[in-house]
């Protein structure tokens, strides 16, 4: 490998300063060609995954496809298809090149997709309609799907705009999206805007005009330090009285907003078209953004079938979603069959402690650091439990409980997109944004997403194909049964 080739240094600079994804991609591929990584991709063998298993699976799929044997294809897919078959999603594989992965892995994913195409299009004298429907239902459920989770982050949350913008432009936005606190604003935009509408909604100019004065000082001795009027008006202008069910019918995206209770004996809630179809998105987002002390907690609202606006969960108020459910992966898994997560993480309480060496440690130092971090977390939770049990004051008990929930959360996913750690980020957490700061955060979000686009495309290609064909079959079933196919 040409490790000391001066051309590689030049390409490293081109990669770091690329102004578009196309320029970034071209520089990465050129780097792989010169460094020898391209030759590495072409060699099936590697200790990082079970290449022999994948070779055999590709061969079996090819033979069955060539013979037009639909039942053999269905059997091969049924018996072992999952997102990390043979450890093909091992992060260590991605470290060997700037872009892409082993060609064998790419070939396997493509063979599975071709097999799914062929099964869907099969003559129904060979595979009848309900056999197809059953196959795609069972396989989609077993294989799972990806979700996008947008963390809290106050003013840093505009970073999510760049992440979503990159995914949307490449048509890689997962259909399951969650947002907490500032992330709930961007998640709600995803849930209420079509592909083309998002292109406009996520521009720096539009974001700035909407949120340029979202914080105004209220003063001490009030319910909160900041007046929420400007934020509420901004959210109303974006989402009006749209409910979660209405948003889903428009975009077909499963969008969740997380909120935390403002009292002690309640758990965080996930608001979406399944759990709270008639809840109004505006109030859900306003509640999720209600950082304690900074903004006052919120009474949720819902829309009746007659169009009247009524309280939702009366006598309860809710606050910042990131306090207890910044990344609600486990509950999204139960609701939507999610088993793979893409995380855009801007939470200032988490980002400084998240490093790639801790997420996927390879060295002895990395493994040791992660282990020590886990021990500190466990010991801290134990200590807080003791303090909470010894405290009788209700207000103090609630505060201690919130602190524990912050420490006890998981702040990373399978794919993690993080902003660069810079001191100036701290100043953007509580300040009103400028057009320049929003544009910088959006560009940062885009550039941080570029290294992940290739792997996201590969990770989602099979699940999206499964759900696309399942949706087509369900639409056809609905039409034949005389039901609505929305």
pLDDT tens digits, one per residue of 332-352: 999 998 988 999 998 876 666
Catalytic residue among 181, 184, 228, 260: 181
For the chain, give the longest Cα–Cα distance: 77
Residue 412, number of CB atoms within 10 A of its CB: 18
Residues 21, 445: Cα–Cα separation, whole Å: 12
* Whether residue 43 sits in one domain with residue 30: no
Nearest to 405 by CA among 312, 316, 321: 321
Structural domain of 10: 1-34
Which tokens belong to 47? 């200790």
* Whether residue 46 sits in one domain with residue 170: no
* Whether residue 195 sits in one domain with residue 116: no
* Whether residue 41 sits in one domain with residue 30: no
Q: Is residue 99 part of a domain?
A: yes
Residues 318, 105: Cα–Cα separation, whole Å: 46
Q: Is residue 209 part of a domain?
A: yes
CATH number at residue 218: 3.40.1090
Strand stretches in 29-110, DSSP E:
none
The answer to whether 240 is a known catalytic residue is: no
Q: CA-CA distances (angstroms) from residue 162 to 156, 220, 267, 282, 444?
A: 11, 35, 31, 22, 7
pTM of the model: 0.85
Catalytic residue among 151, 178, 288, 320: 320
Domain total for the chain?
Answer: 3
Phi, psi of 7 (to 5 degrees): -65, -30
* Whether residue 71 sits in one domain with residue 30: no
- Name the 3-class secondary structure at 300: coil
Q: Is residue 403 part of a domain?
A: yes
Pairing state of beta strands 309-311 and 301-303? antiparallel
Q: Is residue 484 part of a domain?
A: no
* Bridge partners, residue 301, by sequence: 311
Residues 137, 121: Cα–Cα separation, whole Å: 16
Q: Is residue 93 part of a domain?
A: yes
* Whether residue 63 sits in one domain with residue 90: yes
Q: CA-CA distances (angstroms) from residue 422 to 14, 39, 66, 94?
A: 22, 37, 55, 26
The contacts of residue 180 (CB under 8 Å, 6+ apart) are: 150, 151, 152, 257, 258, 288, 320, 321, 322, 325, 326, 327, 328
pLDDT digit string (tens) for the chain, length 486 residues: 455 678 999 999 999 999 999 999 999 999 999 999 999 999 999 999 999 999 999 999 999 999 999 999 999 998 877 767 888 888 888 888 999 999 999 999 999 999 999 999 999 999 999 999 999 999 998 888 999 999 988 888 899 999 999 999 999 999 999 999 899 999 999 999 999 999 999 999 999 999 887 766 655 656 666 777 888 899 999 999 999 999 999 999 999 999 988 665 566 789 999 999 999 999 999 999 887 767 778 899 999 999 999 999 888 888 876 667 788 999 999 999 898 899 999 887 666 666 543 455 556 655 666 556 666 656 666 666 677 677 766 655 556 555 656 666 677 888 999 988 654 555 666 667 889 999 999 999 999 999 999 989 988 889 989 999 999 999 999 888 876 554
Residues 136, 470: Cα–Cα separation, whole Å: 6
Q: Is residue 66 part of a domain?
A: yes
The answer to whether 32 is a known catalytic residue is: no
Is residue 150 within 8 A of residue 183, CB to CB? The reply is yes
* Whether residue 26 sits in one domain with residue 83: no
Q: Is residue 379 part of a domain?
A: yes
Report the run of H or E that residue 301 belongs to, with start and end.
Answer: strand 301-303
* Whether residue 12 sits in one domain with residue 154: no
- Give 298's Cβ-side CA count (13 Å radius): 29
Residue 90, number of CB atoms within 10 A of its CB: 18
Q: CA-CA distances (angstroms) from residue 22 to 29, 447, 453?
A: 11, 12, 12
* Whether residue 277 sits in one domain with residue 194: yes
Q: Is residue 464 part of a domain?
A: yes
* Whether residue 119 sits in one domain with residue 240: no
* Whether residue 45 sits in one domain with residue 11: no
* Whether residue 152 sits in one domain with residue 138: no
């Amino acid at each position: 490998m040409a490790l000391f080739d001066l051309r590689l240094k030049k390409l490293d600079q081109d990669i770091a300063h690329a102004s578009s994804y196309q320029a970034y991609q071209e520089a990465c591929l050129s780097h792989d060609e010169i460094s020898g990584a391209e030759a590495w991709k072409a060699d099936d063998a590697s200790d990082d995954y079970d290449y022999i298993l994948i070779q055999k699976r590709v061969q079996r799929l090819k033979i069955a496809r060539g013979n037009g044997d639909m039942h053999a294809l269905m059997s091969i897919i049924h018996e072992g298809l999952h997102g990390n078959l043979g450890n093909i999603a091992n992060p260590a594989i991605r470290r060997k090149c700037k872009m892409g992965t082993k060609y064998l892995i790419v070939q396997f994913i493509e063979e599975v997709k071709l097999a799914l195409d062929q099964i869907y299009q099969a003559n129904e004298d060979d595979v009848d309609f309900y056999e197809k429907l059953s196959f795609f239902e069972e396989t989609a459920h077993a294989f799972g799907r990806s979700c996008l989770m947008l963390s809290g982050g106050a003013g840093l949350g505009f970073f999510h705009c760049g992440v979503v913008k990159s995914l949307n432009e490449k048509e890689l936005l997962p259909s399951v999206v969650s947002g907490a606190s500032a992330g709930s604003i961007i998640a709600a935009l995803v849930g209420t805007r079509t592909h083309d509408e998002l292109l406009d909604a996520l521009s720096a100019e539009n974001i700035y005009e909407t949120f340029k004065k979202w914080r105004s000082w209220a003063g001490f001795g009030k319910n909160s330090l900041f007046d929420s009027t400007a934020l509420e008006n901004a959210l109303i202008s974006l989402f009006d009285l749209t409910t979660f069910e209405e948003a889903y019918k428009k975009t077909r995206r499963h969008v969740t907003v997380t909120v935390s209770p403002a009292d002690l004996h309640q758990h965080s809630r996930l608001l979406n078209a399944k759990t709270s179809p008639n809840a109004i998105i505006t109030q859900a987002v306003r509640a999720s953004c209600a950082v304690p002390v900074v903004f006052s907690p919120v009474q949720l609202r819902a829309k009746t079938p007659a169009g009247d606006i009524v309280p939702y969960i009366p006598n309860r108020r809710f606050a910042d979603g990131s306090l207890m459910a910044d990344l609600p992966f486990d509950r999204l898994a139960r609701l939507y069959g999610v088993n793979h997560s893409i995380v855009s993480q801007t939470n200032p309480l988490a980002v400084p402690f998240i490093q790639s060496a801790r997420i996927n440690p390879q060295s002895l130092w990395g493994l040791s650091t992660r282990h020590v971090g886990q021990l500190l977390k466990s010991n801290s939770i134990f200590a807080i439990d003791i303090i909470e049990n010894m405290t009788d004051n209700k207000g103090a008990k609630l505060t201690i409980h919130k602190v524990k929930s912050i420490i006890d959360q998981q702040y990373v996913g399978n794919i993690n997109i993080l902003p660069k750690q810079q001191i100036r980020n701290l100043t953007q957490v509580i300040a009103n944004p400028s057009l320049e700061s929003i544009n910088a955060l959006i560009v940062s979000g885009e550039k941080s997403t570029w290294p992940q686009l290739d792997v996201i495309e590969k990770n989602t290609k099979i699940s999206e194909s499964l759900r696309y064909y399942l949706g087509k079959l369900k639409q056809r079933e609905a039409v034949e049964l005389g039901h609505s196919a929305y």
